[in-house]
Every structure is written in C-alpha cells, then in structure tokens.
Structure 1
C-alpha cells in the first residue's frame, strides 16, 4: 500500500476533442505504474467514485475518473447531473469510448506510466467498461455488475442502451467480472450466458458471483453494500490488476 499520493481535478480531451472534467489520483514519488480508468455509475461523478479512484492509487496505480456528464451538466451537483443525463437517455456508446480513450491517453502521458492501461466500471459503468474493452486496445477490464451486456432493458428503462454480446469477439484484454447472485440486471443467467460466449470465443476471463449480494454490493454509501462480498471482490480486483498491469 502507498500512503502518499497526488489527487485533484484536471481537464482532459474527450470524444470529439471536447475538454471534460476528470479526477486523477496517483502515487507520489518515483516508480513505474500501470493506469486505471474508472467509469462511474449512473448516480454520477460523485465522492464515492472519487474515493475508489484514490483507493486504486494506494494500490500503486495512476487512476483517472472522467466526468461523463461534463457536457450535459458542467459543475452541477452529481445527483442533478445524473438526472439530466438520465433524462437524455444516458451517454451514447461512441462518446463513452472517446472519453475513455482520452482518459487512457492522459494516463499514458503522466511521468512514470508503464503504458499499460486497465478499465473498471460499476453498474452502468460495468457495461461501459466491457464496451471500452471491445473498442480500445487495453490490457485489463473489470466489470462490476454491469447490466445489459447481455439482455435487453425492461420496458420503460430510462437509458437508451443495447446489448453488447455481439461485440464480445472484439474484446481486447482479459476480463474480470464480479456479480451478485440476487441481482436482476445482470441476472446470474445473463452472466452465465456471457461466460459461455467468452469461453466459445476463447477470450480470457474470470467471473465471481457472490451469494446474498445484489446489485451495487460494492457501494459503501448504499443499503445494498455487502461487506464480506466487497472485501473479497476488492482483493480479486487488486490481484487481477497486479497481474495484468504490472510491467
């Protein structure tokens, strides 16, 4: 663990050359570091997500969380920004990929970067992490209970999202998935379907499904938080990044 870091807000180049806000945390001092792009959940670019970004810095990674709602609601309260983005149907897939690409480029430009980049996403960000790993050359991806990688959204769902299973053949890197057995989106049946397809395609991956855990079991500020599952999942995430991102 590293207890010294630098953290703060920067502006990076996102999709279409747009300047977007991002939060960066990185170990202080010399070294060779992998990078992790953190994709926030639908509730937005909030303090718990920034805490996750700092946590990754303590693990020895240069981490960045782009504010995916920078264009819709610059400077807005996270709840308000999320409501505005939700009303617009969410973040278009192509724009998300461009924003993650810009965040990865920023990390590669930080002194000490070893050039190896992973991505991690939570909830809607889990789906987006899978999407980014199918569209960009990355070294690791972590999907934390990302819905609609498999399966269509229910009628009336506020986000304009489509399944990504047909893009699985483009997955560029090993994938770690952590899921809850009591989740509905994604359900265990859906994660099993994804597991089978990745096996068929020969894509390296490992999935872990936790009993008595539902959606957002890693979210420490929500009633869905499950400490035992969260502790185990974070250890697996750390071990996975250590294997894939350490040069």
Structure 2
C-alpha cells in the first residue's frame, strides 16, 4: 500500500525509571496518513493505531475493521496487516515492545477507545500541529494512553478458543466443541460472536484458518494441497475459494503480495 511519510515523530526515547514496565528499545509515536491499495506487511514490535481524524480500513491477522476515533487496532509482533485510508485521515501510531502492553492485550485485535484515551489523542494532535512534542512528555503520554485504553477493558472471551483453533486448525470444529472451550452454551456462543464480531462459529474457524494460510504463504515452495490438508480444508480448491471469499484475494495473489515464489 502507498503510505505517506510520517508527518511528525513525536518522541523517541528509552525509559530511565526502573519501575517503568516498558523495557528498553527504540520506541516511536508517529502521526501518519494512508492512501492507496493495501500492502500486507509485518514488523517485529507491537503497534497500536488510533484515529485522530477520518477513518482507516485495516486488516489484522485476517480480520478486518474500520478504525475511527471510537475503535483502535492492536497489532502483535509478526502479525500480517494492511491499511487503506478512507479519504482524508490521520492516525496516531505507537511502536513499542509487546512487553509494554498489559497482560492479555494481544488477545484482541480491535479495542474500543474510551473518552480519556480520545482526549489524549486530541492532545497529541494539537501538540503536533503547533510544534514538536517535548521528549519529556512522550513517555508519560504513552503510559497514559496504555492505562486509559485498558483500564476498563475486559479480557477477550474468545482468546482461548482462537488459540485452540490455531493450535489444531484441521480438527472438526463443531459448535459443541467450540462452546466447551469458550465456556459457553451453543446459543451463548452464537450470541456473543454475533454481538462482538458480527460473525458465526463457522466463520470464526474459517477466518482463523485463512489467517494461518496467509502467514504460511510467505514460505517459498509451500504446496497448496498440503497447506489445505494441514488447515482442515477438503482440498486446494476449497482453500482457494475460502481465501477469495474471506479476503478478496487468491493464494497466488497473497504470494505476489509477499513476494514469495510458488512451488
């Protein structure tokens, strides 16, 4: 995807407080605008994306959402993702080590933005518009953002279920099996997935398998027939159909995005 150069690097520092939970690494808080077609990529650090203005279409680990001032994205290290701007847009992007995030933060890809966090994003936006944010403010701002984002957040109820599917994607994932792992009844699982994700148990299994396929297609020479069997699809054609339906791209198109040769 075409990405504009960062408008402002607000801060770059290492913590000097031994009580700080953020381990040493080069950290950065940027303001960016996005446009053009999305390009799949990943990085070796965690990333938070919060909207200052406009909206941003984003796909993280095979799951899509539209970010706004009310919805943020949490991207784990190594997780494939791509963004595409919707008209004029401006995003606050935080690069930081995964260890800086609260426990369980990486269990969910999208997070509501509470009022306190929105105010902090507005503060960063106003500060960037009038000049560079002082370095001494950067660290406290990041910690305040983390605290405000997760202060009242509940653990993702689907994290154990998604982890189980990722561990054994070829299993016959019946609704009964999924409900037991999630600790819910069948009807409660259907209800919870519909309300939280707008999806169904079957679609959750498919989306998780497709996310695994996207990552596997980065490996040169992977046979689609072998990959389909590993992920629980009946054959190569079923994998191709599901990938096109879920992502709009075929396995060959994903290989082209990754720059990975086929078998």
TM-score range, shorter chain: 0.3 to 0.5
TM score, norm. by length of structure 2: 0.33
TM score, norm. by length of structure 1: 0.34
Q: Which has the higher helix share?
A: 2
Of structures 1 and 2, the larger Rg is shown by 2
